[in-house]
Amino acid sequence: MKWCDCQTYIEITPPEHFNFHECLLFLNRSDQEIVHVIHEEGVYKLLKINDSIILCRIVYNDQVLAVHFPIEVPSTEEKREVVRFICEWFDLDRNVELFYQAAEQDQLLSRLTLTYRGLRMIGIPDLFEALIWAIIGQQINLTFAYKLKRRFTEKYGEYMTFKGKTFWLFPQPEKIAILTVKELRALQFSTRKAEYVIGVARLIRDGYVTKDDLQGKDYDTIKQALVAIRGIGNWTADYVLMKCFRRANALPIADVGLHNALKIQLGLDKKPSIKEIEVIATNWEGWQAYATFYLWRSLYDEPV
């Protein structure tokens, strides 16, 4: 990825088919979101790189992503890590032209890719955050999931303030690993979810599960490693493969949002069955994650 160190800020040249406005619309889908803040046509993101906490403000001007540092300019090495994070967060290394070419063969996808052209699959680069967010979202509606995430982050995350606004880091596994179930129950976590969250935190803290170890492995191997973790089922594993490991062929087929979007987009009387989705998705081969992501995006334009 081409980028320029402009001393007090960074410029990243995004690839073809990049629509920052569409990405912001997706990032801004809940007013309860806490780990980034959309403000004045840009997004603020707090990052922890080694022991440094860095506030970034990302805007899009003149065909480049400009990354400003409102509080303190990081070192050159830290800037490289900021670029790496942003490229992964916005999936900037992906040649989405290949997705658009494949989508032309599918009536549903061809319509969605025309409407949301340039939308990138927004990821969750941190494995702990991806796993915990997926666990939080199990079997509850998205509104309540965001409320739990906010309570969890405000209670256990680090933060920084700037011009009267507070910016938060998602909690670190080391802090969550020492909690009791009772402490998470006080935030309205179910007993089972509290156990899962603490268990995942301990596995990651102790190095039994790491993104670096899994990253280079094939899809099935990563999925097997994830579902071996207590509290991680097929949907959660597929979601994490999609959002954290950026596997374009990940298909969280049991996802309620996917079902709702298909019902609306296809004009069905009821949500499709798993078998029906398998048939629908035959045209998505290799791009199931992007197809799912674009269908999720469509929900914010339509009544569910």
Torsion-angle region of 7 (φ positive above 0: left; ψ -120 to 50: alpha; else: beta) = left
Judge whether 93 counts as a catalytic residue: no
Name the active-site residue from 218, 255, 269, 301.
Answer: 255
In this structure, the strands spanning 64-68 and 52-61 are antiparallel
Would you please indicate which residues are annotated as catalytic (active-site) residues? 255
